Amino acid sequence: MKKILNWNELKAKLDSLKTKGKKVVFTNGCFDIIHAGHVRYLKDAKALGDVLVIGLNSDKSVSKIKPGRPVNPQVQRAEVLSSLEMVDYVTMFDEETPYELIKLLKPDILVKGGDWKKEDIVGSDIANETHSLPYVKGISTTKLIEKIKKL
């Protein structure tokens, strides 16, 4: 099954799944260096519905919000994410936020990590439910990069 889709392919796939009663969960992020915090978060996100979709910040998008990043190019980040069993689909966006993508897909449930307040989560005005999942303290891509630089 092809998991990395463009917006139009993904919209058609999700519309079909929704007509079958499937709940679509959407999250987004850079996912520059996948770590245990990401894996736990994505497992928890998937548990909220039937289909987990990741809006992946493109290289262009990441460089706007995190200067000097990404470490890994978007094609590789998408490949790693799509290989995780809890992830059903991955699509990329170039904007700083996934608002237009969320508006197009209309997911049932929107999820971000616990470092986000529910009211600050982009697209919460579109989805039926919005969740801020527990943040795994001490694990972050930024901390990993800092640790590697010290080696």
Distances (CA, A) of 84 to 63, 88, 107, 115: 25, 8, 20, 23
Write down the pLDDT at residue 67.
87
Task: Look up the domain containing 60 and give its range.
Answer: 7-150
pLDDT in the model for residue 30: 94
How many domains, in total, are found in the chain?
1
Return d(Cα 27, Cα 97) in angstroms, integer. 11
> What global pTM score does this model have?
0.91
Residue 17 belongs to domain with CATH number: 3.40.50.620
The rounded distance, in Å, linking the Cα atoms of 99 and 88 is 20
Is 1 a member of any domain? no
Residue 75 included in any domain: yes
What's the per-residue H, E or C state across 111-124? EEECCCCHHHCCCC
Tell me the two tokens of residue 34: 């996948």
Q: State how far the Cα of 52 lies from the Cα of 41, in Å rounded to an integer.
A: 12
**Dist CA 16 CA 79 (whole Å):** 24
List the pLDDT tens digit at each of the 151 positions of the chain: 799 999 999 999 999 999 999 999 999 999 988 888 899 999 999 999 999 999 999 999 999 988 888 999 999 999 999 999 999 999 999 999 999 999 999 999 999 987 777 888 999 999 999 999 877 677 777 677 677 778 8
